Amino acid sequence: MTKIITIDGPSGSGKGSVSRLLAKKLGFSYLDSGALYRLLSIAASRCQVASNNKKGLESLAEHMDICFELDDTGELRALLEGEDVTLEMRTENTGELASKIAGHSEVRAALLKRQRLFAKGDGLVADGRDMGTVIFPNANLKIYMTASIEERASRRYKELLAKGEDVSLRALAEQVRARDERDMSRDVSPLVPAEDAIELDTSSLSIKEVLETILDTLDAKGFR
């Protein structure tokens, strides 16, 4: 049976980087569920489907042609209808729109089926907001990763500066706070830790330290 590890948490908690490294280390597949919401928001913009058009978004979520692959550097590349949209997928605008459309139950139901299809082979590391609570409630290990708003905004700030983007740390902190509020307070599948999740505050930990902590937990559970 496919072993499943879920890693949920707010944006900037480090779950993406840690999940990819963990999947590689264990030889498991990887699901970046946020990327599905992000691709849907790009598809919606391309097809001029408004963010409040629930039926239109549901249909796009069911039918959009998507493909993911990890490149040589371990980063996720995404194709939408055959077009490489990796850079557009990671912009703040795309993240904002993804967070908005993620509040529609029709969209979540349509993407639920597609997400469960990623569970095949030896194992899967699934990262997102509701992996442990809704998509894979029977996962073998559930992690809920957090970090302070200041730390998460500062991580994003450094990422964007490295890409040569001109940003304000204060504006980023406000965006992070607003996105948390929307993701945590929506009616359907809000971001909350699963009852059986292990909570991990990564504010003062490096990616390597977080990865080691998770691997130690897996060993303690006799997982490896």
List contacts with ligand DC (CB under 6 A): 11, 33-34, 37-38, 95, 98-99, 102, 128-130, 179, 183
Least CB distance to ligand DC at residue 125 (A): 13
Least separation in angstroms between CB 194 and ligand DC = 12
Q: Which is nearer to ligand DC, 61 or 98 (CB)?
A: 98
- Residue ranges in the chain assigned as alpha helix (H): 15-26, 33-46, 54-63, 86-89, 92-101, 105-116, 149-162, 169-185, 207-220
- Any idea which residue has 């095949």 for tokens? 120
Between 28 and 37, CB nearer to ligand DC = 37
- The DSSP code sequence of 41-59 is HHHHHHTT--TT-HHHHHH
Q: Which is nearer to ligand DC, 162 or 220 (CB)?
A: 162
* Residue partners of 178: CB distance under 8 A and separation at least 6: none
Nearest approach in angstroms of CB 58 to ligand DC is 15
Token pair listed for 196: 């059986």
Q: Which is nearer to ligand DC, 38 or 155 (CB)?
A: 38
Closest residue to ligand DC: CB criterion: 34
Q: Answer for the pair 123, 3: CB distance below 8 angstroms, yes or no.
A: yes
| CA–CA distance, 125 with 32 (Å, rounded to integer) | 9
Residue closer to ligand DC, measured from CB, 3 or 129: 129
Tokens linked to 48: 């001029």
Question: Shortest gap between Cβ of 184 and ligand DC (angstroms)?
Answer: 10
Tell me how far, at minimum, the Cβ of 33 lies from ligand DC, in Å.
4
